[in-house]
Amino acid sequence: MADSTKSVGKLIYDRRTELGITQKEVADFVGVSEATVSRWESGHIDNMRRDRIAALSKILRLSPLAIMGIDDTDLSTRLPDMVPIDARTFRVPIVGRVAAGRPIVADEEIVGYEYIDNKYSKDGHEYFGLRIVGKSMEPTIMDGDIVIVRRQKYVENGEIAIVLIDGEEATAKEVKESADGITLIGHNAAVYTPHFYSAQEVKNLPVQIIGRVVQSIRKF
């Protein structure tokens, strides 16, 4: 058995026990038998279906990439940790800018702070804010809105993501993935028509998802 599969199995076991979740609870949530969960924890994870990887990642609050045995610690430099303000509120940094139209070079200079519900601090993910520039996501997200982003390398089809293109240009778009590649969709078709990147382009440019938009905040 390969060392990588053993380490993933141990990761699954360690995370489950850390959260105090039983094998039966995992099995019921994912839709498999307890014996299957036991095999996964022993390192038998080959050919795990994508929907089961997604479900397992949700209940264990892990990245699907980690469950697939892929190191996901290279999300570039970590942003400052969220700072608790009170029992209900956390402060998160607003960093740089991101385009919702023509991509703008992204940077991680902190330009301000936003305050979000404490519920976001409990899922083990890192959050940050970005200010939207452009009109391609209107009316869903308006020019000047601040979006709260959960830092992750995957999203479900139909979710809005912050996507890094060619290592330096970031854009906010609805994402649709397939075996052939990834399509970035703007909600304002008059400004931005869907743009498809082939699997080859995704790999070579690259095209990388850096987070999922979970909330937008409009300032008046």
List residues with catalytic annotation. 136, 173
Report the SS3 class of residue 74: coil
Which residues, including other chains, have CB under 8 Å from residue 156's CB and lie 6 or more apart?
54
CA-closest candidate to residue 129, choices 78, 177, 181, 93: 93
Report the SS3 class of residue 202: helix
Cα angle for residues 58, 203, 158 (degrees, 5° grid) = 40
